[in-house]
Structure 1
Amino acid sequence: MHWKELLPIDRYVVQMKDRLHETDRDVLTLLYQPLIGSLAYSLYLTLWAEAEGSPGADRERKHQTLMVLTGQPLDQLFQERKKLEAIGLMAAYREKSDDEVLYIYELRKPLTPAGFFQDDLSVFLYNRLGKEQFRRVRDRFTIDRKSLENAEEVTRSFDEVFKSLHQSEMVSYDEEFRSGTDNLRGGQKAGEGYSFSGSEFDYDLMLADLPPFINKETLSKEKVKRTVTQLAFVYKVEPLEMSKFIQDTILHEDDLDVAALRKQVQRRYRMLYSQNPPSLALRRQPAHLVTQQKEPETESEKMVHYYENTSPMEMLQNVSDGAKVPPADMEIVEHLMMDYRLSPGVVNVLIDYILMINEMKLTKGFADKIAGQWSRKNIKTVKDAMEIAKQEYKNRKEFTKAKKEGRMSQGGGARKKPVRRERLPKWLEDQKTRESDDGKSSDAAPGAAPDLEKKKEELAKLKQKYQKKK
């Protein structure tokens, strides 16, 4: 009795949380389709295509459109829709206003291959396909992997490569950037993609400082331990200080309230270091781009070694004699590293070059011009950056000298605003110089005649006076 619940004139809109990828399509085709049938499978793909291709208000359609697209009557579509809902590929919501009804179809991604075969759905698939076919389908999703039994893991953890910056280097970051993440694509939880060793944080010391009534088993769980060490790393909290925060958070609960602990740590950070949360920076030039392997001897080698073993933030602080680095300069540094993909050592050379030729001012427009050129030239190492900086400086010096000489050759007179001159061919410049010289001599002639006549008159008068005295 679908007509009691769904009519052709009822409108619907499709939404989703993530895109359908190639593996998802394989899972739908080979694992879900045998269970839900080809019509439900086709309906799912049709709705997914609609959701991806029709943003904004244009997404609303009538069920009549869906009937035309699939070539199926409404009662059949209703039955197939129920299959998708039951197997977890869709959630349906109904919104009523006046005499109109709007259905909201929220599509959900299928399970991963591993998740499907660990789920009870695999039992139904086994009964549908049979033993041999089931094994072939399962092998289709199996990846050949080399055994890691005798291998030693050498993966670097997050806190071994990155560091939390000093408060003077922090860049403003409003809390609003953390909000609104519910509508972002993907379902991977924060922190799942990377490891975190927490080797610099003495977790045992923190546990030892806690009073006996605190449930330490809860704090020994891997998930809780990771969260605590991560908070300590990012917000620079010592073990004994973290112990106090945990006592305040866990006082009335048996389990640790991670959200409350995070708020406590953030509140303490704001009190100490104003409203600016921490930022991250690479410690040094990546190992594969380091060129100065031996002990530096010459001045040039020492500079290469310095650029490769200093972060851009530390270099800016060194240039300022330890003074606070302006937030605007910090933004420029992050901009160069993130947007132009320049390595830290190359950024060091670029910053040093700009400060040298720009009266110790780091300006974004200037930095963008040079970074764009270096990025296009694929400058990766410090030595390459130093070479191109030297060449640029030489060209700049020659241009400035030529410009200055050109201004001086124009002669004295009233001080004029420097005008940009186009470079001319040599023969044209010679001709222009001759014309300029001719013009000057012709301009001087009319003014010289009155002076000569005046002097003749004065000489005649002196002669007359001399004759009278005689």
Structure 2
Amino acid sequence: MQDVFFKLAPRDGFVVTAANYLSDFDRQVLTYLYQPLMGTSAYSLYLLLWTQQTQTSVQTSQPHSTLLALLNIDLPTLYQSRTRLEALGLIKSYQQVKVAERTFTYELYAPQAPNAFFSDDLLSLLLYDVVGEDRFDQLKAQFRLHPVKPSADLEEVSLSFLDVFHVNSQLLQQLPATIAEAKSEFKTPATTTQPQLDQRATGDFDWPFFKQQLQASYISARELDQYHDQLLTLHALYGLNELELAQYVNESVDLNTNKLDLPALKRLVARQPTKVAPTTGTGAADPAMATPAKGLSKNDQQLIAVSRQLAPVTFLTQLKQQQGGYVTNSEQHVLARLMERHVFADPSIINILTHYVINVRQMPTLTQAYVDGVANGWLQHKVTTPEAAMQEVKSFYRQKQAPTRTRRSNKATVRKETLPDWAQDGYQAPKKQVTAEQRAAVQKRLAALQANKDGES
């Protein structure tokens, strides 16, 4: 999160405007459905921006230090909270730079209505993972509507608009200019801000062929379509092909209801041994990406090739096994959230990120906060390929290598951090040459050990 201070500063100004009308009911939806997803800091930031929105065309900016003081949080937390609101479609951020002054405009969007929220695969799945099945069912019941169902003994007696109000029919045929102008000004554009599934994630998965494998099962094709996004997420996360995923789905159908038990499917897939399988990104199929990137060593290119061959969970499993560890449930959850939010269209980028955290930064496990920080930084730098991700890692070390000056006893000292060997351009693993003298000494030791062993026996 070090680069946060380059993307946002306390002195930067901000103004707030709203794209939708916000109501008390929106506050309820935000509290019960969105707050578990975004966390308390992002929730507080949204409510504070709600109170700061400008109602007039004249906008006066305030410094971000105002938000920091009112929320009692640091700048990285504020920036991370803002990105969470952006990812959930609750705000859009715009930046304007004039000379040395930078101003952000935050446009607030109302949360999705409950019916749209629960119908959206990404939002409902993320809420299910966070709160669990019992709480998820409680929230569904809390926001479920109960419209009146017509029956033989229930007659509607409501009056229509024209039954109560009388309007000049001539004015209806030719509206006054003021009314026509108001219609134009208050026309709401048909835009959506809710998270969308990146279609590139389906590039190597044949959905009709997958459904065909389940024609003889108890689950209906319509229900499979309802779980489209969740099933594709499992495919990308674990590297499952159509036949393997169909087999797991078939084993996870509840025979009492003939419905897919999604939590059981996730548990079943997570228990299976990992395997080598190509990731689902489109980058591997692009001939331009197969060309070695400038500035990348042979080792870097080999790592990128491996990242394209393994699914994220498989890649992490092999990294942990090399270090004598194992993949925890929380780490699988971290990877699942990255995949479900479609942070990166190419899963091989997630593998590069995993390698950076585990092997380069020497962290024992993947943590949600740190992974989100790295992923946000890469997104800000437009990382869309594993080659770009590798360049981002090397760029980070080059920045650390730059000399820093400190004052001590009126003398300037320079401290330099050494760039790791693997990050050097053109790096090759050293080859050790064994001399004849070294080989003879080793053989002599082995003969002595064997003689001692024979004597003891």
Query: Normalization by structure 1: what TM-score?
Result: 0.35
Greater helix proportion: 1
Higher-Rg member (1/2): 1
Query: Normalization by structure 2: what TM-score?
Result: 0.36
